[in-house]
Amino acid sequence: MKFTCLNKGNGFHLPPCYVLHVSGFRILLDCPLDLSALTVFSPVPADFCPSLLDESSNCSFHESLNMESKSAKRHKIEKPLDAKDLIYAEPWYKTLKNLHIWDPSFIDIVLISSTMGMLGLPFLTRSKGFSAKIYATEATARIGQLMMEDLVSMHMEFRHFYGSEESDSPQWMKWEELELLPSFLREMAIGQDGSELGGWMPLYSSVDVKDCLQKVQKLKYAEAACHNGALVIKALSSGLDIGSCNWTVESPEGNISCLSSSIFVSACAMEFDYRALQGADLILYLDFSSEDVIEDVEHHDNYSSPTTNNLSTLSDEDNWKELNECLLRNDESIEESKKLAFICSCVVDSVKAGGSVLIPLSRLGIVLQLLEQIPISLESSAVKVPIYVISSVAAELLAFTNIIPEWLSKLRQEKLFSGEPLYSHIELMKGKKLYVFPAIHSPNLIANWQEPCIIFAPHWSLRLGPIVHLLRRWCGDRNSLLVLEDGLDADMALLPFKPIAMKVLHCSFLSGIRMTKAQPLLKILQPKIVMVITIQLSSSLCNAILSLSLSLSLSLPPHTTHHHPYTTTHHTPQPFNSVY
């Protein structure tokens, strides 16, 4: 078996991407898009209104603007970044640097672990010679399709503004142009050594998305898919978000479990099915999220240490029970719900002060909970403001979440069994508390418009979609609130909207296995070998594995660079192999 890491990923929105060679099959795990790199582009300029301008006028406008910004750039190179430094062009999208050097015809199987791991898939499926079989869970495929369609529809605004596509390589990609970029932006665009430039692609079309989805074999959780009579592939719930999964591959060489970011007790998605990963020969420990929550480890040490001490003295059965209890302790979910409650209180405060609230549509699970809890908070503080969800796919997405009890957490399933709707948004819509519109210029929205209000809208990169226009409207209002998820470079993301008077609430949500739970988890799973990648290997995980006397296989450390705080998002390790 051979394992190659293509990208270690970065947080929830950019899952890691890697290639496995098993029994003669090449398996690609996940195919994400680095959407945070979109921030090198400018959003559609402020005074552009898609419904009012016709093609010819905006072309000249664009030209003049371009000239102006260009001359500005020449003089300002090493000064602090300015909105004018951003690239004014139809954005391209950054696929993983190391993926495009792979011949797509060499891939036999693609496994998709989450909707985020799917967004780059049409680039792969539309390339020549691609013939791999793609596996994804039904829910991931459906939600992923909606996300991609939304991306395509949001991108249309750029098309209208910049006119139809120019040539194979746009102006901004020429070396002379890139040279002019401030060093920080340049690095985001092309990487340290310029090697990442090849990863940029013009966005796929909705036809590409449709074709891509046709090549996906959709599975249920724990459905055994037999590939070519040689491999048995199963998707097991990971708890990260609705439909996300960990893959297991049974091959003649042994059983491999790919442990992606997982959450034990999830409020929305079906719980992490870790018991099904028991008895694997090899676990690829691919949950890189522990880096993000490393500061929390000390915080939670008081939970884990008594447990670990007790372990040796207990009988096997008690031990087992203890371990399971340790994993399923709801401290994490309590913490997450506290975070949500805090967001709700901030939302209420802003609305009371007469400001509006803008929440980017990012994690489905979080958005669904907020959609449910914000109205409750509003009601309890006797505030009446409308909530709008603005996205071309919002209606379908919300309808979909109410018909998929099989993919939801135990708690949500209880709602089905007691005859209540899975989520309250249908009732809220009927009660005229929640409105769903496909676009910001929908006639109904304009007719309905009321401020202050609470808006959920894409895209979390703050570069495209309705959120851009709304942000421009409210960024000067100090009573308004923007809720931003960590993981995105906030300075960079907010650059085009500066100066900003509105409040920005940064929040981070649990997006993987905590270090304190890694040890009991591995103890329960008892794999023969655990494989981790050194870049993410903190000493505590390493110790956890060694203390269980499991075999540990370390990948070679990737090419290391100095750790500039901005480069973390775009730093991708060199391809490296580890063979055992």
Contact by Cβ (8 Å): 173, 181: no
Q: How many residues bind another protein (CB under 8 A)?
A: 24
Contact by Cβ (8 Å): 144, 115: yes
Nearest approach, Cβ of residue 222 and another protein (Å): 4
Return the exposure string of 377-416: e unless at least 16 CB atoms fall within 10 Å of the residue's CB, then b.
Answer: bbeeeeeebbbbbbbbbbebbbebbeebeebbbeebeebe
Q: For residue 399, state whether it binds another protein (rule: CB under 8 A).
A: yes
Q: Which span (241-249, 403-411, 489-497, 543-551) binds another protein, by CB under 8 A?
A: 403-411
Measured CA to CA, the distance from residue 553 to residue 458 in angstroms comes to: 41
Measured CA to CA, the distance from residue 397 to residue 405 in angstroms comes to: 14
Q: For residue 172, state whether it binds another protein (rule: CB under 8 A).
A: no
Residue 97 CB partners (closer than 8 Å, separation 6+): 7, 191, 195, 196, 198, 199, 572
Q: Which of 136, 128, 129 is nearest to 110 (CA)?
A: 136
Classify burial at 212, counting beta carbons within 10 Å of its beta carbon; exposed 0-12, middle 13-18, buried 19 or more.
buried
Q: Which of 179, 298, 317, 417 binds another protein (CB under 8 A)?
A: 417
* 522: phi then psi, degrees, rounded to nearest 5: -65, -30
What sign results for the dihedral spanned by CA atoms 494, 499, 505, 508?
Answer: positive
Q: For residue 413, state whether it binds another protein (rule: CB under 8 A).
A: yes
Contact by Cβ (8 Å): 464, 471: no
Q: Which of residues 232-261 bind another protein (CB under 8 A)?
A: 234
Which residue number, 402 or 553, has a Cβ lying nearer to another protein? 402
Q: For residue 396, state whether it binds another protein (rule: CB under 8 A).
A: yes
Q: For residue 65, state whether it binds another protein (rule: CB under 8 A).
A: no
Q: For residue 427, state whether it binds another protein (rule: CB under 8 A).
A: no
Q: Which span (98-106, 302-310, 380-388, 411-419) binds another protein, by CB under 8 A?
A: 411-419
Which residue number, 402 or 508, has a Cβ lying nearer to another protein? 402
Measured CA to CA, the distance from residue 242 to residue 21 in angstroms comes to: 28
Q: Which of 383, 395, 445, 524 binds another protein (CB under 8 A)?
A: 395
Q: For residue 372, state whether it binds another protein (rule: CB under 8 A).
A: no
Which residue number, 324 or 574, has a Cβ lying nearer to another protein? 324
Which residue number, 218 or 503, has a Cβ lying nearer to another protein? 218
Which residue number, 5 or 393, has a Cβ lying nearer to another protein? 393
Q: For residue 103, state whether it binds another protein (rule: CB under 8 A).
A: no
Task: Return the beta strands (E) in 365-498 as ranges.
Answer: 387-390, 434-437, 454-457, 481-485
Which residue number, 47 or 406, has a Cβ lying nearer to another protein? 406
Q: Which of residues 218-237 bind another protein (CB under 8 A)?
A: 219-224, 234
Q: Which span (194-202, 418-426, 444-452, 507-515) binds another protein, by CB under 8 A?
A: 418-426
Q: Which of 199, 225, 233 is nearest to 124 (CA)?
A: 199
Measured CA to CA, the distance from residue 145 to residue 203 in angstroms comes to: 14
Contact by Cβ (8 Å): 73, 180: yes
Which residue number, 255 or 508, has a Cβ lying nearer to another protein? 255
Q: Which span (46-54, 62-70, 333-341, 417-425) binds another protein, by CB under 8 A?
A: 417-425
Residue 474 CB partners (closer than 8 Å, separation 6+): 355, 356, 358, 480, 482, 502
Q: Which of 80, 229, 252, 419 binds another protein (CB under 8 A)?
A: 419
Q: Which of 50, 198, 386, 405 binds another protein (CB under 8 A)?
A: 405
Nearest approach, Cβ of residue 543 and another protein (Å): 32
Query: Given the rule CB under 8 A, which residues bind another protein?
Result: 219-224, 234, 276, 395-396, 399-400, 402-406, 413, 416-417, 419-422
